[in-house]
Amino acid sequence: MIAWENLDTLSSYKKLLSLKGQVSLANVLGSSDGAKRVAEYSIPMAAGLKYNYAAKQVDDKVISVLKELAEESQLIEKYEALYNGEVINTGEKRMVLHQLLRGQLGKDVIADGVNKREFYINETKKIADFAEKVHNGQIVNEKGEKFTDVCQIGIGGSDLGPRAIYLALENWAKANDKFKMNAHFISNVDPDDAAAVCSSIDISKTIFVLVSKSGTTLETLTNESFVKDFIKAAGCDPSKHMIAVTSETSPLAKSPDYLAAFFMDDYIGGRYSSSSGVGGAILSLAFGADVFADFLAGAAEEDKLATEKDITKNAALMDALIGVYERNVQGYPSTAVLPYSQALSRFPAHLQQLDMESNGKSVNRFGKKIDYVTGPVIFGEPGTNGQHSFYQLLHQGTDVTPLQFIAFKENQTKKDVIIEGSTSQKKLCANVVAQIVAFACGKNNEDPNKFFAGERPSSLIYGNKVDPKTIGALLAHYENKVMFQGFIWNVNSFDQEGVQLGKVLAKTVLSGNMEGALEAYAKLLID
């Protein structure tokens, strides 16, 4: 029997509180056993990745209590309930089925009169068939010309995840003869965003992917109208240049305004939708359906590893538990995600939404106020750029910020240069190693301006290179980490009422039915 309990009622959590501040990173990494710790505090992930937590402020005693917390919180049992179709999204009274998009875990889930596993697999096959027809010239523009570009119109989860994954694989695809079409993205309702994209592409050879589950998203529909004007101005028929990714019940589903429509449902949250047609359409068009299939395979492999009960063999679970220890015991307010790979330049932006929209909650699953902190602030930029930007605060600021480094041994293009005896890629990796040790161990100096206290904890996810399977595994790792942390905090990680409030008020402003401060602020910006 699963019990949903607040964190501060658990005996293991109370035991964990007594262990605050007992591990010195300078001591454990700087000792003769430092190398042994680095080797042992490592967990294999899917697609050849590894998660290393040697530079975290934990030891065997802390890990033992974290294991108790995982068991007392019934984290694996709750994960099993989720992927087997129990109603986990209590706010909206819905199942949570994004793992099922990968087609692997659990039993068949029947909802709305259909087998959801088969439904998701069939939609992926439909997208693959459509993409193949575009690539081989069976689907062309009005002049009989092949489409060369694809542009996604969406916002939030309809943009951030797919954009991050496309950028992650663009150079890899070009280097491995997998690049099919240039991809572009329009998200911001600011007209300068759509205008900049539309002015930079050949409209007549572009397919636009409109993504809106409800078919009513204000920003997306506004941008659709904007784009249609560009299409018409180019002498083209918008209905020959647009496809929709939406739900079967939305007004977009059977509209003659689109070449085709591909479906998702209410059991797939926007920030968890990259494995659905939201990511599948644009990624299959850009790189081919086989690349998207490999991406799903990497995610599915990582999902399976997340079912492991032993936390020392489950990277997502260990990452989640240490994150809770840092947030609720150590009192750290934020986490920096630092990918030392230009391919992952937009990955931190996706993780901001994934984590902060999921676990930025102050009531539990049953709407009761909680008395402990939940999700941290997530931010980040690629290294080494960040080193010349905000690392000053990370090294010497008054707040300690836990760090998550992501690094790869090889670059994607296989092009490099040797300067002063080493390649650029080796220099990049050397910076990762140096930063981990510098943050952990610090540096003594009589000059206070040059003194580094250290004791800044970090983890490292690393592999050989960024490819479809590794980016799928990486995405699933963070999705599962966020899920486990939501379970521990006893919050609903799958609704986002804070997003809805702003949408409602914006419509009120546009309607003109305002008063008080809302009206006063509107007068500052709107005639």
Among 357, 361, 469, 481, the one annotated catalytic: 357
Is the preceding omega at residue 384 within 30 degrees of 0, hence cis? yes
Contact yes or no for 314/43 (Cβ under 8 A): yes
Contact yes or no for 303/99 (Cβ under 8 A): yes
Classify burial at 98, counting beta carbons within 10 Å of its beta carbon; exposed 0-12, middle 13-18, buried 19 or more: buried
For residue 407, the SS3 value is strand
CB neighbour list of residue 501: distance below 8 Å, 6 or more residues apart: none
Using CA atoms, how far apart are residues 79 and 100, in angstroms rounded to an integer?
Answer: 12
Q: In what order do the strands lie in the sheet with 149-153?
A: 182-186, 149-153, 206-211, 242-247, 261-264
Among 232, 254, 388, 426, the one annotated catalytic: 388
* Catalytic annotation present for 98: no
* Catalytic annotation present for 503: yes
* 182 DSSP β-pair partners: 149
Contact yes or no for 255/245 (Cβ under 8 A): no
Helix orientation angle between 218-233 and 191-200, rounded to the nearest 10 degrees: 40
* 406 DSSP β-pair partners: 339, 461
For residue 301, the SS3 value is helix
For residue 315, the SS3 value is helix
The region, left, alpha or beta by phi > 0 then psi within -120 to 50, assigned to residue 148 is alpha
Of 176, 254, 252, 168, which is closest to residue 215 (Cα–Cα)? Answer: 252
Which structure tokens are listed for 227?
A: 């784009």
Contact yes or no for 490/187 (Cβ under 8 A): no
β 149-153/182-186 pair status: parallel
CB neighbour list of residue 378: distance below 8 Å, 6 or more residues apart: 334, 335, 336, 337, 348, 351, 352, 355, 356
Element (H, E) at 328: none
Contact yes or no for 217/155 (Cβ under 8 A): yes
Which structure tokens are listed for 151?
A: 């542009």
- Report the residue count for the chain: 527
Among 174, 503, 507, 523, the one annotated catalytic: 503
Contact yes or no for 524/514 (Cβ under 8 A): no
* 408 DSSP β-pair partners: 463
Q: Catalytic positions, please?
A: 357, 388, 503
